[in-house]
Structure 1
Amino acid sequence: MSRKQTLREPGLQTLGAEERGGSEADRRSVAPAVSGQISDMSPPEVGGLLRPLRRFWSVTAIVLLLSLAGASYSVSALSDTYTGRASLIVSSNNRSPDQDAVLVQGYVDYFNDIAYQQQLARSVGLDGVVTLTARAAAASPILLVEATTDSRDKAQSAAAAVAGAFQTDLNRVRDQQQRRQVRKLEDRLEQVGRAGGPDAATSVAALQDQIAEVEADRTNRLQELQFEGGVSMNSPNPLTNVAFAGLGGLILGVLAAIALDRIFRPGPQPRG
């Protein structure tokens, strides 16, 4: 048994050496291929990326200068504007404020319709450029009417006038309904007074209470909160406008340089 083992051991050692040698040879042959792949996967040279800018730097500069010039001109033409505010409120008798706030949001959407705003502006005689808008004050039943123009006094007067016209317009239907109800109750009150009788005084008092209740009903009605809510000044920010214009012009100039580089890229040279 010992001789067989001694005879096998050299063969095993030789086989192990061959395997080790083969693996080492394989590693040597694979290493150049892997290094070649790594070199192929390396990022492009910075010079290749900057080539379009070097070739067409004048195009990038022209686009940038045009953007800056346009922004500077537009900023110089801007002037301060003023925003006047007026406030209305919906405060129903037997309804919570959060329910009235939902109604106010509907009034805001109705006011901000362009065609309706033009109708309101004509009804109050607004002239010149006046921007009108309405918004709800947070989640409250307060409606803010804003008018923006180039004059402080005109902004406040326009906001108050438009808010009053809007209040009158929306309350018109409700006012008509209340007048009809009051008229009916007054007719009944007159009939009871003419008829007389032992229960006439009780009926008259009940009808008078109903008339007072109808007249005091403010459900769904817009009410004046503050028609002169103040004026704020809006000043343009020239540095921000020019900075954004410069950034946009730089990006457009770089894209233009890349596009021109691809269009006018020289073809492959013929081999000698």
Structure 2
Amino acid sequence: MNAQMARHIEQIRRRWWVVLSVVAVTVLATAVHSADADATYVGKSLLVQSSPERTPEQDATMAVGYATLFNEPVTIGRLRERTQVPEGVSFEARTVAASPILTIEATAEDPEVAQTAAQQMAAAFRDDINSVRNAGFAKEIEGVERQLQTLKSQREPDGSMNPLVPVVQERLDDMRADATDQLRDLQLRAGVTKMEPQFALQVATGAVGGLFLGALAALGLAAMSPRLMNARDLLHKTGVEPLIEVPRAGSIRGNRLREDRLRMLANYISLQDLPRSAVIALTDCRGARGAQDLAEDLARLSAQQGRRTVLVYANNSTSPPSGYPGFNNVLTDRSLVDSALTDSAVDSLKILPAGPVIADRYPLLSRERIDTVLDELRVGTDIVVVVAPPVTDSIDSHPVCAAADLTILVVGKRVSRSGDVAAAAEALTKAHAVLLGAVLVDGKKRRSAESQVMLAQRANGAVERPTLLDRQR
């Protein structure tokens, strides 16, 4: 199964209620129609294609061609006008096995109407086919007759008949008796068959048709829906490269799966061609609320591997500790960087809080100021992880992401819209930020209003502990 087929199956599975609704409607409509349907009658009339100088197989092939010709809507319409059969009667021609016998069937609600209509249409079709053949033969016969009359008038010197007259006469008789390619009556009133409504079969057919229509409806809704359900949707609808899907934590199994996905993401980032003391920025797309959680987890994993890591809250939020200077302070005075950094309970991890909230940071967020702060943080550091403001909701994120070596866009699963993701990617490109890709996270609210960096893991899975910054209080 290729990726496209798997994506369609997943879209149908997620919208099972659409499929079920369409199936229910079609089954109900079919059942009501079948319950009210009366018995119908099929009248039959038989014609035969038989040529003296041909094999039955050749005549059978001709009969198939005649059946195809009769079933053309244009042919039925022309013959219907000629015979004046009722409008409610339907017709179909078919061959009897591999034989030259042609069956004309008429379906009506009355047995006598069905039989009469079949007989009339069979006779009209026979005459229509034979008239074309006879028109061509009539010209040939007329020419031979003229030749015969000429020969009869040309007698021999002794007054006897021209010896060619018997030869031409015999040829003329053969032409008049030739039945090649002619349709002939076999049994114009071949009987009537009563057709009872097949309730179970019709309902089953309706269910199959409803299933097909429901699947098409589900695929149509998926194509029109702007919401992103998985990595395939992200790539197909926005063109942004999906990095990984990070599930929400909660259960032991969910915690383990989340931790595994985070480690995969951390390993993928570490394999990029990054400079020493690289800066990684994470920013939320509209609808997502996972950049801060993701940045904290990536910083923790980096520090656990022994890298000297700094986690920077550049999102102008009320992150603890509120009494400490933070990113907003060091933008005005880079000498405060060392004093603003706080230790965490994870070795090799330091934190630069957001600092006091500033209503309008535009005068402070110049590219030069941000580069100066990041250069100070790079000293003696292996990696800097930055929580940037949401890219689609705040212009502050543009210079922050542009100053980073790589930017990761965080997309809310089932919440973020394709248009918002595409707009976010375009905004980052215009800001000259290097977009590594997008991470799909659960679109629901963050796991806490405060920082949730985990300190350690137990053997049976990742376990959330008190926050790093809470430990500083």
Deviations 1:207-237 (A, max 9, x none): 2211210011111111111111111011102
CA shift, 1:201, in A, is: 6.2
- For residues 244 and 120 of structure 1, do their structure 2 counterparts lie closer, same or farther at Cα, with a shift above 3 Å needed? closer
Which TM-score applies when normalising by structure 2?
A: 0.39
1:210 aligns with 2:178: no
Paired with 1:68 and 1:200, the residues of 2 have a C-alpha distance of 83
CA shift, 1:270, in A, is: 5.0
Paired with 1:167 and 1:223, the residues of 2 have a C-alpha distance of 7
- Name the % identity: 29
- Which of 127, 130, 145 aligns to 1:168? It is 127
- For residues 185 and 82 of structure 1, do their structure 2 counterparts lie closer, same or farther at Cα, with a shift above 3 Å needed? same
Superposition pairs for residues 142-161 of structure 1, below 5 Å?
Answer: 142-161=101-120
Paired with 1:108 and 1:192, the residues of 2 have a C-alpha distance of 44
Larger fraction in helix: 1
Deviations 1:61-112 (A, max 9, x none): 9888756643432122211111111111111121111011111111111111
1:118 aligns with 2:77: yes
- Which of 27, 31, 45 aligns to 1:72? It is 31
Contact between 2:43 and 2:193, CA under 8 Å: does it hold in 1? yes
- For residues 144 and 199 of structure 1, do their structure 2 counterparts lie closer, same or farther at Cα, with a shift above 3 Å needed? farther
Amino acid at match of 2:111: R
Amino acid at match of 2:192: V
Aligned Cα root-mean-square deviation (Å): 3.5
Amino acid at match of 1:213: D
- For residues 185 and 199 of structure 1, do their structure 2 counterparts lie closer, same or farther at Cα, with a shift above 3 Å needed? farther
Aligned to 2:194: 233
Task: Give the paired residue count.
Answer: 212
Larger fraction in strand: 2
Paired with 1:247 and 1:98, the residues of 2 have a C-alpha distance of 39
Q: Equivalent residue of 1:98, what SS?
A: helix
- For residues 167 and 242 of structure 1, do their structure 2 counterparts lie closer, same or farther at Cα, with a shift above 3 Å needed? closer
Paired with 1:92 and 1:183, the residues of 2 have a C-alpha distance of 22
- For residues 199 and 143 of structure 1, do their structure 2 counterparts lie closer, same or farther at Cα, with a shift above 3 Å needed? farther
Which TM-score applies when normalising by structure 1?
A: 0.64
Aligned to 2:234: none
- For structure 1, the 5+ residue unaligned runs are 1-52
1:184 aligns with 2:139: no
CA shift, 1:157, in A, is: 0.8
Range moving further from structure 2, 59-68 or 211-220: 59-68
Aligned to 1:219: 180
Amino acid at match of 1:138: A
1:137 aligns with 2:96: yes
- Which of 39, 53, 59 aligns to 1:94? It is 53
Amino acid at match of 2:82: S
- For structure 2, the 5+ residue unaligned runs are 1-15, 223-228, 230-413, 415-441, 450-473
